[in-house]
Every structure is written in structure tokens, then in C-alpha cells.
Amino acid sequence: MKKFSLLLLPLLLSGCFSSPAIEVSNICTLMDEEVTWYQGVKASEKKYGAPAYVQLAIIYQESRFQSDAKPPRGKLFGVIPWARPSSSKGFAQATEGTWDWYQKSTKNYNRSRTNFVDAADFVGWYISQSNKRSGVSKTDAFNQYLAYHEGHGGFNRKTHLRKNWLIGVAKKVENNAKRYKKQLKQCRARLDKNRAWSFF
């Protein structure tokens, strides 16, 4: 029953962040500077069959590549800082419940939401889960994001159809994924030559 309830848990990802965003006009430049990040999404792509460009588009939307991203606090009476709307945290803005599901499913108990490589592994895993549980193609950034945001239960119930704003966000993710795919195609050979570490 607990596993079933986890499947219905929406991620409740806010896409908000607490520190300055990393603006990305060309993903190749960022991946060339952050070699371990590129190696992380590449490893996740190989493990789960989740395209690097889809992973990166989702992570960008959720945190703008900020490790300390969290939803902004609400305000009591419009003035007093109050609780955050969800437990979302880190690069992937995964909630505690969904992160716990990921850790138990993969046995990756030492992973951290504030570590980019771990977040990429999570996103790749979640993309593969969306393919299995909701029939979403791993290359379909638009519907992958909707399933990511609403959770598989919500996506399967089509809760996103009542949220025009979310459809708009998913289109942004889709457009970024297309742009990243084109850019990575041009620089992937160069990025593959970068060697900052050898954990994979």
C-alpha cells in the first residue's frame, strides 16, 4: 500500500530557486565548464535510456541549475515568512517522498538532492518510470515534464489538462530540450574528450 501511495504522490516541483539562476544560452558552454555535470547526465542517459537533453531541460526548468533551490516560503497575513509549500529541494526539486522512493528503488541511499550527478541520476530514473508507468516516450520532453510535475497518478488522471499555466511551462521545457539536443549534437564529441574524473 505504501508503494502504491508513492506512485500517486505528485512531485510538486515549483521550479523556484533561492540563489541567482544560471542563464544558459548554449548548453555546450555550461557542460564544457562543468565536466562532472556532463559526465553525470551522460551516465544517467546510458543507465536509463533518458536523453541528456531531456534531463537537462527538466533540471533547468526546476532549479536553473542551482543546488540550493527551494520553493519560496509562503507569507502569513501576507507579511510574516511562513512554511514552504512543499519539501522540494535541490537541482531536480524532488520532494522528500519521491526522493525516498527513488532511493529505495535504486538502493542509492547515499545520494543527495544538492549534488548534480545524483540529481541527474534521479531525473533519468524518473523519466524511465514515466515511460513504464505512464507510457511516455523517453524522448517526449513535453509529456515527460507533465508526468514529472504531476506525478504518475496525476498525469494518468490528466490533472494537467486543468492547468493551462503548466501546459505553458511544459512547452518551454520541450523547446529547451529541442535546443539542447541540437546544441549537444554539435559539441558532444568535444565534451566526450573532457576528463575531470573517472567515477563512471
DSSP per-residue codes, 86-149: S--BTTTTB-HHHHHHHHHHHT-TT--TTSHHHHHHHHHHHHHHHHHHH---TT-HHHHHHHHH
CATH at 85:
1.10.530.10
Beta carbons of 40 and 191 less than 8 angstroms apart: no
The number of folded domains in the chain is 1
pLDDT digits (tens, 9 = 90+) for 125-172: 999 999 999 999 999 999 999 999 999 999 999 999 999 999 999 999
Taking the C-alpha atoms of residue 180 and residue 183, their distance in angstroms, rounded to an integer, is 5
Identify whether 134 is part of a domain.
Answer: yes
Q: Is 100 inside any structural domain? A: yes
- Is there a contact between 92 and 148 (Cβ–Cβ < 8 Å)? no
Cβ neighbour number for residue 16 with a 10 Å cutoff: 17
Calpha distance 40→119 (Å, rounded): 9
What percent of the chain shows pLDDT beyond 70?
A: 76
Q: Is residue 87 part of a domain?
A: yes
C-alpha cell at 156: 494518468
Residue span of the structural domain in which 96 resides: 11-193
Per residue in 53-77, pLDDT tens?
999 999 999 999 988 744 443 444 4
Q: Which of 145, 132, 120 is nearest to 45 (CA)?
A: 120
